[in-house]
Structure 1
Amino acid sequence: MMPSLKAPLRRALLCALLSGLAPAMAFDAAVAPPPSQARTLPGYHRLLLGKFEVSALSDGTVAIPLSELLTNVRPREMQTQLQRAGIDPKQAETSINAFLVHTGSRLVLVDAGGGKLFPNSGRLLASLAAAGYRPDQVTDVLISHLHPDHSAGLTLDGKAVFGKAVVHVHQHDTRFWLEPRNKGAHPDHAHVFDQAARDLAPYQALGRVRSFAADAEIVPGVRAIATPGHTPGHSFFRVESEGKALVLWGDLIHAKDLQFRSPGIAIRYDLDSRAAVAQRKAALRDAAAKGYLVGAPHIPFPGIGRVLESGGGYEWLPVNYSEIGLRRPSAAD
């Protein structure tokens, strides 16, 4: 119980409090709100997967016009579902997430974000630092596919950000996006060809780019799964330790409030829309049946959860926040 205060002291404290609150209570319409949301907060979310530590890292967000990009969907359905979720179809704010896996002996980054390409991206290095790591500690960078919002964060001012890491990309993506002759056949994606070449150039100069084939084990406990469609070499990464699994999806989902319910909805970013839809249907079916964790770059941060069957479609169940039992793995594990 608080001790009682004498009347003069109570009056003095009350006057002090009111004088301090008065400026805040007198709203001044000319005062602008802060320019951004929680910029100073650490953009990471950590969980344990067996003996592995997994950290979702925020690179920020990007606004995309889903109403212009989505295909295989009736406009009224799209409008209704997005508005129900409080999303503007013309300016849908989308997370850009990357994932860091500490195996005890390797520090593996899956995707590198959009760097300086977008007004509200480029936060990956700050999130990495908040999670307790430096870029020079990353041993491997796994790129799900060579689209700029996944690979542009590899470089900063033309230099390698993760200079001690090996960058791993599926051979079909390197062959496609780094081949100048393909650029002319895909004019709508010309900027992607240019950006991919810029993103990989510093690592190629260092001899630190490795191409992998379908379903290759990149490092112990982390295996690539070929899922072509969105791009020729689009890949998932299955992370597994002590029987616990997390599958990192790459660009399987761009509009969660539509595509879980209706997996046949596609997006114009897909190079092969039919194949991308087939991959989505298979991945959702598998995740719902087996119950493993999923990580996705464009589901609201941290983008980790599970898939549940729901009314002929699926729904997303975000992982619960937890601070219990977290520890950093060591090489002795």
Structure 2
Amino acid sequence: MQPSPLPPLPAEQVPGLQHLRVGEIVVTAVSDGFLNGSNAVLQNIAPEEIDRLLTESFRPTPRRTSVNTFLIRSGGRAALIDTGCGGSMQASAGKMLGNLAAANVAPEMIDTVLLTHLHPDHSNALADASGQAIFANATVGLHAAELAYWEDEAAASRAGASGQGVPYFAAARAQLAPYRDRLALFADGAEIFPGVTAVHLPGHTPGHCGYMIASGEDSLLIWGDIVHVPEVQVPRPEVTMQFDVDPAQAAETRRRTFDRVATDRQRILGMHLHFPGCAHLARTGEGYRLVPEARDLAF
């Protein structure tokens, strides 16, 4: 008996989704794809050292950065943490909406969008090309200091020196525009969705935030942009990014966060950890090692 003919070779990957359980809360990693970028944006490190660290980790150089978003389903409600790049950056990114649809979640089902910060790879799918809100029924939550920064004309005029540039400010304001009457500003420690608490992690931007998700005895920290290039910044936490508003504070926040999650054995999710972005951080002598979480089919 001859085997049945094989189907055509696949032309694309399966949807970029991974489900995680935190007590009674389900967290779904939703891939937005990835961005290719220059190593020159990494600071406080020699270019040859970047190449060495990436090559030893079997990663491309120049760098490739994963972009992740996270769907939170808790108490019969749905929140999205970050929206990814939208259609305005690279063809390899902007995949969040398609992957969200593969999870059978339409944008109108999202009642809350929580932003780690307002850089374009985190917020450029709030509005469509015509300036209309993509998440028609959602409140947008962000730290009060984040909104204040992107509305500050003096900060915009200084932006060229930080590597963010005036277009970053224009994009942030345009993306928020259709949500101006439904912004929810919060402070550190506020519970802003069932089981989700804001964790202020300043430096990358003034209002950069992570989110602690807790249910029962279980918890998970979404740490935002604590690292952008894990193969470099985990072993070398002093390495900063050209996009950091306050590089010294960003490095200090990274060290403090590393110490906390390693000490507490805290499970983490990162916007720029390789998809699905779930890991632990282990101490190795005087440094750290990122340990990706094994996939669990029984979530």
| Band of TM-score, shorter chain | over 0.9
Q: What displacement does 1:85 show?
A: 1.6
Q: What displacement does 1:180 show?
A: 3.0
Normalising to structure 1: TM-score of the pair?
A: 0.83
What residue ranges of structure 2 are gaps of 5+ in the alignment? none
Amino acid at match of 2:264: K
> For 1:118-133, what aligned pairs fall within 5 Å after superposition?
118=89, 119-133=91-105
Contact preservation (8 Å) 1:308, 1:316: yes
Counterpart in the other structure of 1:269: 243
Contact preservation (8 Å) 1:231, 1:270: yes
Counterpart in the other structure of 1:83: 55
Contact preservation (8 Å) 2:75, 2:194: no
What do the CA deviations read for 1:183-221 (whole angstroms, capped 9, x no partner)? 1122242111000011100111xx111111222111231
Counterpart in the other structure of 1:210: 184
Q: What displacement does 1:77 show?
A: 2.1
Counterpart in the other structure of 1:150: 122
- 1:110 paired with 2:81, answer yes
Amino acid at match of 2:82: D
Counterpart in the other structure of 2:65: 94
Alpha-carbon separation, structure 2, partners of 1:127 and 1:290: 32
Counterpart in the other structure of 2:177: 201
Taking a change above 3 Å as real, the CA distance of residues 300 and 76 of structure 1, as seen in their structure-2 partners, is same
What do the CA deviations read for 1:245-281 (whole angstroms, capped 9, x no partner)? 1111111101111111111111111010000000100
- 1:315 paired with 2:273, answer no
What do the CA deviations read for 1:156-178 (whole angstroms, capped 9, x no partner)? 12111111010001111111112
Partner-residue secondary structure (3-state), 2:202? coil
Counterpart in the other structure of 1:47: 20
Partner-residue secondary structure (3-state), 2:207? coil
Counterpart in the other structure of 2:153: 180
Amino acid at match of 1:87: R
What do the CA deviations read for 1:80-104 (whole angstroms, capped 9, x no partner)? 11111223332x2211100111112
Alpha-carbon separation, structure 2, partners of 1:181 and 1:42: 42
What do the CA deviations read for 1:272-326 (whole angstroms, capped 9, x no partner)? 00000001001111111111210101111000111111132111111211221x4
Q: What displacement does 1:117 show?
A: 1.7
Alpha-carbon separation, structure 2, partners of 1:105 and 1:282: 34
> For 1:221-260, what aligned pairs fall within 5 Å after superposition?
221-260=195-234
Alpha-carbon separation, structure 2, partners of 1:166 and 1:86: 41
Task: Give the fraction of aligned pairs with identical amino acids, expressed as a percent.
Answer: 32
Q: What displacement does 1:37 show?
A: 4.9
Q: Select the structure of larger CA radius of gyration.
A: 1
Partner-residue secondary structure (3-state), 1:169? strand
Counterpart in the other structure of 1:163: 136
Amino acid at match of 2:233: Q
CA RMSD of aligned residues (A): 2.0
Counterpart in the other structure of 2:279: 305
Partner-residue secondary structure (3-state), 1:156? coil
Contact preservation (8 Å) 1:250, 1:297: yes
Amino acid at match of 1:133: V
Alpha-carbon separation, structure 2, partners of 1:117 and 1:250: 21
Counterpart in the other structure of 1:135: 107
Amino acid at match of 1:115: G
Alpha-carbon separation, structure 1, partners of 2:17 and 2:141: 23
Partner-residue secondary structure (3-state), 2:149? helix
Normalising to structure 2: TM-score of the pair?
A: 0.92
What residue ranges of structure 1 are gaps of 5+ in the alignment? 6-12, 25-32, 327-333
Counterpart in the other structure of 1:72: 44
Partner-residue secondary structure (3-state), 2:262? helix
Alpha-carbon separation, structure 1, partners of 2:225 and 2:196: 18
Counterpart in the other structure of 1:27: none
Alpha-carbon separation, structure 2, partners of 1:193 and 1:244: 37
Q: Which moved more, 1:50-59 or 1:218-227?
A: 218-227
Partner-residue secondary structure (3-state), 1:299? coil
Contact preservation (8 Å) 1:293, 1:306: yes
Q: What displacement does 1:233 show?
A: 0.5
